[in-house]
A and B are shown apart, each in its own frame.
Chain A
């Protein structure tokens, strides 16, 4: 444990070459899609990018010790608001996406203060029922949302020209790039928050609320703000999803979507920021790569979940550490035998 360096201590001395490292990583991420020709895989990648955004925003909330089981509900609010504004008022999808995020933010803002006051398990229950209510309302409010049949022909991001190159967002690749840009912006934002002093105060809150209050941290306000932020991002992701996919129906935002996001986060590992990213990415791809198993395919997912929860209690990010531990054991064993 001693090798856990002071996160914030490093911050002040953050070197420039570290930034270059990140930039390089981003560059690689942006180059890879060019080589993917399959429309299907591009689609899966887009979905996984959306899931990464959602999972990271969920983690941002969870850092304060509040585990939301209704995050997909805010995605739903964002998606429907964005769709309706774009379709009925004729707004540009970019703008409507933002408005979708703001709508999710507004709903979160209305309930933020009362719900951040309640204890952890009740917070989870509350967000869970909130998510269920949101999907039920969308499936019932037929005049607005089209009920369970949903909405089709949602306008895509259309065509634009950047640097003289025409981009048609009816193809998958430009959508993937747009998703990646959104993801990079969101991740940089959340990562900076996570590493900063304010991020530390959020972690302090999750460890001991009374102690945090005793040194002057406004616990309720901090929790409310981060909850609103997380929900805004979820709304934004929802808006993007709607305009990308072109079809909406309430089923895709149900309770299990929320629970899956939670699983991505936990299986990835909650101790470090990158855990949510890895968890969301791997677990979104997993069902697709395990398609060969046909109807037994969910069992592959289950197997991975149980492997992680029993062998890597700290999540997938702990894998290198555990491997090293294992290797060392094997090595020492051999040394002993030789001696």
Chain B
């Protein structure tokens, strides 16, 4: 029984990290109408950034995460302005740009940081004990961080003018433009938010499993799987999809291994896409 709880807990940790990655993807998708395949690389760079701030500058991990989120959101704005803005709504062009970015960033990371694992130090050692399950603090904190960020994002989208503009743009770009919404700014904002979330996810993951130049593609696959599960463009869908996928990834390895967990997760996605392409929370 304890192992099951342990599995569920691990699933939650993974799930919240998937959710953070997926939220960025889904926001960028609903506003710019592109699948940002290089999102995983932003996540990877975010992890390196966190590593850099915490190890080289010796900052507290949370401060490092915060700074890395800011740096990556700036990177996101630059990428949007100079690369992605021309390919909004174009599948062909955006795929090429994203793949170019994947190669570019992976190469830079491999040259700049080397290919061996880097570890982000943990500030809070020890672990939490609930019902006889050992929960390392760093993992518990990633769940808490995830929940807080989703909550903030929700408040931002519901409560601010920019958030409303984002909703309007995601529903109908032309109508939004007619209402005087600056779609360029909204796009940039979506990239900035998406990249910041990815950076934090990367930093959290890097504290648990280490940082490698190729860590991005795994996160990207999982992130896309999550938004398919929950329906493209839905925040709560991404949360539920992420938790579900996280639980599969946490529980299935108890009986077999992580590859089987991925197979089961992705097969479910394929079946969902066949039966109900909008995802089970999709509203399109």
Contacts and interface: CB of A to CB of B under 8 A. Distances in A.
A118 B221 contact: no
A296 interface: yes
Contact of B221 (A130, A255, A305): A255
B260 A140 contact: yes
B175 interface: no
Given A126-B273, A296-B111, A133 B95 contact: no
B263 A137 contact: yes
B281 interface: no
Contact of B270 (A119, A126, A263, A301): A126
Contacts of A114: 274-275
A133 B263 contact: yes
A67 interface: yes
A137 B264 CA distance: 10
A177 interface: no
A306 B266 contact: no
Interface stretch (B15-23, B102-110, B122-130): B102-110
B152 interface: no
Contact of B111 (A118, A259, A295): A295
A139 B103 contact: no
B99 interface: yes
Q: Which of A111, A130, A262, A302 has the most CB of B within 10 A?
A: A302
Contacts of A306: 97, 100
A196 interface: no
Nearest to A313: B93
A214 to B, nearest CB: 23
Given A133-B266, A139-B259, A115 B274 contact: yes
Interface in A77-101: none
Contacts of B64: none
A266 B269 contact: no
Nearest to B279: A122
B37 interface: yes
Interface in A126-147: 126, 128-130, 132-133, 136-137, 139-140
Interface string A258-295: 01101100110010000000000000000000000001
A126 B37 CA distance: 15
B196 interface: no
Interface residues of A, number: 42
B259 A140 contact: yes
Contacts of B2: none
A108 to B, nearest CB: 13
A140 B263 contact: yes
B99 A126 contact: no
A298 interface: yes
A260 B37 CA distance: 13
B28 interface: no
A120 B224 CA distance: 16
A124 interface: yes
Interface string A236-273: 00000000000000000001100110110011001000
A305 B93 CA distance: 10
A121 B25 CA distance: 14
A295 B107 contact: yes
Given A140-B259, A296-B111, A302 B100 contact: yes
Contacts of A298: 103-104, 106-107
Nearest to A147: B259
B169 to A, nearest CB: 18
B96 A309 contact: yes
A125 interface: yes
10 contacts: A122-B277, A133-B267, A140-B259, A140-B260, A296-B107, A298-B107, A305-B99, A306-B97, A309-B97, A309-B100
Given A118-B273, A256-B217, A259-B95, 4 more contacts: A114-B275, A255-B217, A295-B107, A305-B100
Interface of A: 67, 111, 114-115, 118-122, 124-126, 128-130, 132-133, 136-137, 139-140, 255-256, 259-260, 262-263, 266-267, 270, 295-296, 298-299, 301-302, 305-306, 308-310, 313
